[in-house]
Structure 1
Amino acid sequence: MDKDIKILAIESSCDETSAAVVVNGREVLSNVIASQIDIHTKFGGVVPEVASRKHVEVIAVVVQEALDKAGVTLQDIDAVGVTYGPGLVGALLVGLQYAKGLAYSLGKPLIGVNHIEGHISANFIQYKDLKPPFVCLVVSGGHTFIVHMKDYGEFEVLGQTRDDAAGEAYDKVARAIGLGYPGGPKIDKISKEGNPDAIKFPRAKFHENNSLDFSFSGVKSAVLNYLNQMEMKREEVNRADVAASFQKAVVSFLVDNSVKACKLKRVNKMAVAGGVASNSSLRETLIKEGKKNDIEVLFPEFILCTDNAAMIGSAAYFEYIKGNIAPLTLNAVPNLKLGER
């Protein structure tokens, strides 16, 4: 395509309101994120109704700021991309309705984007020459997947969590040991002071020998049982040791299955995406195991690991050039599966 394609992208699937302007799926002109972490911290997690109301309050300001920072007007935009699932239904609807209104008023195409596809596409922004096929580990507060990206917009899910997402388990364990919300960064930080071999927390085992699925409810329950036992014995809990041991169990599970997936599909390139991709232990362990197995491991910069509109703009571009234009009747799909339309 000779003409540069500018996508105005909107992301509001959970507790970040974000807008971005992305050119040709890889160049970010702006990426504005209004975070609600401070608001939800006092509740110990995201409150859907509160998140939705906050999205309503700030979305117009965030979109205008993204346009201003990019140095473009609405008339310069070629299409409007927006997350329509998965996520919190109320939060999704705020961004989706705003995007639909813009697309209709401007006479521009509307591109519906799967949030998980957006996370994967963050790697196209970070690595300008990256092309499919490759394996991607998507690991965040709400999602844990191993995906074989066969082509742009074409995915095969190789493994996924059967219960809690990895980030969800982090939040629950952090709350249990008194670290608060958000749990991922806090556990990662305190783990550096602990002994990862102090406590042997179990890892799920499946009857299917070749399964690449995950389960994190067991290790979460093991941590809770350990804390209860220590309380009954009136023994002091070393929070750093608990955090480090829990993190080792989770990270080893993620890394082992991801390496197996690369071998299964005979690819030597693995991308990582999602909020937990910022975890220092996961990064260090994946890079180490990647070198052992001749696998190049790619991570987006930290800002692209969080929920953000730039990644949605990247995914929207690749849908746009394939002609996947959404109708203005597009609705939010809170349980949208990867690859569904």
Structure 2
Amino acid sequence: MNGILGLENGRTGTYLTTKGGAILKKIIILALAAAMSAGVTACAKKPAAEEHGAHEHEAAEGTAFLHIHGLGYSRDGERLYIPVHNGIKIYAGGAWSDAPGDKHDYMGFSAADNGFYSSGHPAEGTRYKNPLGLIRSTDEGQSITVLALEGEVDLHGMAVSYRTHTLYALNPEPNSKMKQQGLFYSRDEGKTWTPAAMAGVSGQITSLAVHPSDDKISAIGTTAGTYVSRDYGQTYAQLDPKPASALTFTDQGELLIGSTGAVELRKVNPGTGQAESWKPASAGEAITYISANPADPKKAAYTTEKKNVYVTSDGGATWTQIAEEGQAADGK
């Protein structure tokens, strides 16, 4: 998860507020979450394939994005994944397609080098319990494996270490794995979770990211700035004071940060604080999700509150718009 954890573009999310370095006891889940899950059949878990196999993408069934729930690249950097409330849209080679499989409402979508991890709500007519809990897919959603917490919790605020697969999650309510609200991390794909104190964080949390290869390093964006931890989320130090709307780590361990107010997109070295401006193409629009291409440091993508989607192949010098206000474009 690397974008706004709130009500943007009709999305639901989690707001976690901190004060003076201490976590307030209440995590607020917006009431719209109930409306989004209405009408979804909650049944028993069905088997899911474990192996990544060859499959064909379907031509995009529709070009409209009702919501945008995340952003992430495939391991080879050739495909950009956008969960859009009813399944996943894939952008590759200048064209859009629908990911195979059931059209689940993926929330907390987090791409990794072995596929993706997510939470959310099952597609109508499937036999998964609602909410999905924690799931993994290794074949772009053609099949999913339920890892934990099925029928218990919807983890809107979640992020994964791209190469180590350590998961961080903002838990909204006590459940069988996490006995309290707050930040937790798991190094065994959700079997066990360890609480993280989040000491030092101030403001309303908007985004969460994990270093791609060093899982003890994580970052939190809030209305009071960007904070970085080097001890599995126990303590955080402020890296930047500008309000952050979205952030993600590059494969080289730098942070791409979208700031609110005077909308900015910057690449920041967490160790030195050195920043490089990547001027966004969309003036005045809050950035909601950012993803860095793991195969090419000059490539990245971001989405906005108006459901515009942009990609760059030259380190932010120029941007190509591939979706306009929720309508897919060919990007050419």
Fold shared by both chains (TM-score > 0.5):
no
For CA contacts below 8 A with separation 6 or more, give which structure has more relative contact order.
1
Q: Which of the two has greater helix per residue?
A: 1
Task: Name whichever structure is richer in strand by fraction.
Answer: 2
TM-score (norm 2): 0.29
